[in-house]
């Protein structure tokens, strides 16, 4: 099992992104909102560039799909030998993590996905190994693209969207050979009846 970097894989550990400095946020907002205009102000918090200033906020928008507790309970039983499992009511797939707040109307559709493979990466904030299930899901991918298409001010910190579900935020010293057994079990597993939800993000935390 290859350990991939966070840059190569869109992961659920967005908390580390909250700790980046304001100037980095401004640069992200500038490139997203005004690709042809670069702010020259030395003090970004006091700049008079309206297009940029109005979006330097300490709040954002999070959108995800929650998988049922029934599925969560099943996964916890299957993965019982994996340390620090996600709780059964917290298995979800992120659709949007935007550092700019926007009005979002949740969809009432039900989402589906299929297990693809396991991926492991090192969290750059905690330096712990995180295990996720990468998914095949036109539903999630299409919805992600739709939300960003309809909300041009929304920010995104990765080059591409990879649907996934986090299994454990700290694998400790797990024997990675166990994942081969789990991949066989999960090979034809389908996630069904996922429901969309949205949350306010406090980027000061």
Q: 54 falls in which pLDDT band (50, 70, 90)?
A: very low
Q: Which residue has the higher pLDDT, 56 or 5?
A: 56
Q: 121 falls in which pLDDT band (50, 70, 90)?
A: confident
Q: 8 falls in which pLDDT band (50, 70, 90)?
A: very low
Q: Which residue has the higher pLDDT, 143 or 27?
A: 143
pLDDT higher than threshold 70 for residue 22 = no
Sketch the domain layout of the chain as residue ranges.
3-14+58-202
Tell me the two tokens of residue 147.
């939300």
If you ran DSSP here, which 8-state letter would residue 85 be given?
A: B
Question: Is 195 noted as a catalytic residue in this protein?
Answer: no
Kindly state which CATH superfamily the domain 3-14+58-202 is placed in.
Cyclic phosphodiesterase (3.90.1140.10)
Average pLDDT, the chain: 79
**116 contacts: CB under 8 Å, gap ≥ 6:** 133, 134, 135, 136
pLDDT of residue 47: 52
Cβ–Cβ < 8 Å for 186, 115: yes
Of the chain, the percentage scoring pLDDT greater than 70 comes to 72
Distance, in Å, from the CA atom of 87 to the CA atom of 168, rounded to the nearest integer, reads 9
Longest dimension (CA), the chain: 58
**150 contacts: CB under 8 Å, gap ≥ 6:** none
Distance, in Å, from the CA atom of 194 to the CA atom of 79, rounded to the nearest integer, reads 20
Q: Which helix (H) or strand (E) holds 196?
A: strand 190-202
Give me the catalytic one of 13, 30, 61, 92: 92
Tell me the two tokens of residue 8.
């190569």
Cβ–Cβ < 8 Å for 75, 133: no
Give me the catalytic one of 28, 30, 61, 94: 94
Q: How far apart are the first and last CA of the chain?
A: 33
Cβ–Cβ < 8 Å for 190, 165: no
Question: Is 94 noted as a catalytic residue in this protein?
Answer: yes
Give me the catalytic one of 13, 104, 144, 164: 164
Residue 92: CA count within 13 A, CB half-sphere: 17
pLDDT of residue 41: 61
Distance, in Å, from the CA atom of 67 to the CA atom of 192, rounded to the nearest integer, reads 7
Tell me the two tokens of residue 105.
């109307």
Whether the full predicted model's pTM is greater than 0.75, yes or no, is: no
Distance, in Å, from the CA atom of 145 to the CA atom of 96, rounded to the nearest integer, reads 9
When pLDDT is averaged across residues 91-116 and rounded to a whole number, the result is 96
Tell me the two tokens of residue 62.
């999070």
Lowest mean pLDDT among 13-22, 83-92, 191-200: 13-22
Q: Which residue has the higher pLDDT, 15 or 49?
A: 49
Give me the catalytic one of 28, 30, 61, 166: 166
What pLDDT digit, counting tens, does each position of 132-154 carry? 999 999 999 999 999 999 999 99
**Which residue, 21, 26, 23, 32, is CA-closest to 154?**
32
Q: 202 falls in which pLDDT band (50, 70, 90)?
A: confident
């Amino acid at each position: 099992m290859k350990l991939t970097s966070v840059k190569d894989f869109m992961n659920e550990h967005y908390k580390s992104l909250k700790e980046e400095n304001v100037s980095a946020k401004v640069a992200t907002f500038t490139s997203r909102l005004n690709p042809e205009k670069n702010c020259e102000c030395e003090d970004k918090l006091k700049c008079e560039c309206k297009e940029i200033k109005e979006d330097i906020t300490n709040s954002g928008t999070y959108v995800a799909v929650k998988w049922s507790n029934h599925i969560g309970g099943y996964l916890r039983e299957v993965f019982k030998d994996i340390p620090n499992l996600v709780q059964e009511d917290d298995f979800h797939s992120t659709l949007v993590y935007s550092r700019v707040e926007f009005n979002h109307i949740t969809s009432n559709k039900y989402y589906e996905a299929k297990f693809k493979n396991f991926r492991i990466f090192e969290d750059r904030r905690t330096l712990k190994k995180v295990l996720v299930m990468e998914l095949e899901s036109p539903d999630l991918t299409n919805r992600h693209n739709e939300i960003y298409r309809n909300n041009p001010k929304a920010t995104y910190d990765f080059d591409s969207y990879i649907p996934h579900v986090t299994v454990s935020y700290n694998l400790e010293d797990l024997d990675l050979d166990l994942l081969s057994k789990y991949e066989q079990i999960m090979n034809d597993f389908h996630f069904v009846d996922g429901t969309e939800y949205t949350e306010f993000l406090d980027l000061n935390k």
